Amino acid sequence: MTNENNFKSIIDSETPVLVDFFADWCGPCKALAPILKQVKEELGDEVKIVKIDVDKNQPLAALYQVRGVPTMVLFKNGKKVWQQSGVLQKDEIVRVIKTK
């Protein structure tokens, strides 16, 4: 379980942090997992990818207004710069990370 303080220390980074809010029972979340792995393989140290289980971290999900899963939120220097629900393809996610 991630609390708000250690989550803040994770996202408060010069490296962009892509947070994947997911649930174990969510089919699209399972489809997104290998796509995020490909994003990480392509970008390497240019991005941190963090997975947050919404069922175990409801206050955190509520704080970022996650109403559906999967929802990805991109942070730069601790600030939310982009948020999107649903499954995106690798190229779209890479483009967002590089342009935001």
Which are the catalytic amino acids?
26, 29
For the CA atoms of 3, 56, 32, 63, the dihedral, rounded to the nearest 10 degrees, stands at -50
DSSP 69: S
Strands in 48-53's sheet, in edge-to-edge order, are: 48-53, 17-22, 71-76, 79-85
